[in-house]
Structure 1
């Protein structure tokens, strides 16, 4: 499973991230602490604590592909 750590700081970033996640064929999850939501669900994203770093996980793409798609949100 591929995973990266990101940070979403604004409402616009959340919307852009959600749109990019929806372009991936397959599952994309977003974790904050012990909570995990579907990254393709904007309501799910807003249920997380966006003040923390978030972990994006996917079995559909490689870590390199995740880094490329979500480069502007990387927390590292």
Structure 2
């Protein structure tokens, strides 16, 4: 498992992020405070406080390509 922190500042950021995450078979969780949601769920993401950075838990060992694709969202 790998972890990183991201920031999603607009609705377009959320849509683009979910599109990227959905291209991968492994699970990605988003953690904000005590709330954990599936990063492939747009509705779940909008239930989080997007004004703060969000922690990602990537449930894969080989995820360098994924991390490269989401680097524009790095917090």
TM-score, normalised to structure 2, is 0.90
User: Which stretch of structure 1 is more off in the superposition, 30-39 or 52-61?
Assistant: 52-61
Q: Which moved more, 1:55-64 or 1:10-19?
A: 55-64
Unaligned runs of at least 5 residues, structure 2? none
> Pairwise mapping of residues 47-58 of structure 1 onto structure 2 (< 5 A)?
47-58=47-58
Verify the 8 A CA contact 1:4 1:63 in the aligned structure 2. no
**In 2, Cα distance between equivalents of 1:20 and 1:61:** 17
Q: Deviations over 1:40-72 (max 9, x none)?
A: 000000000000100111112446444312110
1:51 partner SS: coil
Structure 1 gap ranges (5+): none
Task: Summarize the alignment of residues 59-70 of structure 1 with structure 2, pairs less than 5 Å apart.
Answer: 59-62=59-62, 64-70=64-70
Which portions of structure 1, spanning 4 or more consecutive aligned residues, are displaced by more than 6 angstroms?
none
State the secondary structure of the residue aligned to 1:8: coil
User: How does the TM-score come out when normalised to structure 1?
Assistant: 0.89
Q: What is the rounded CA distance, in whole Å, between the counterparts of 2:38 and 2:8 in structure 1?
A: 15
State the number of aligned residues.
75
For the residue of structure 1 that corresponds to 2:48, the secondary structure is: coil
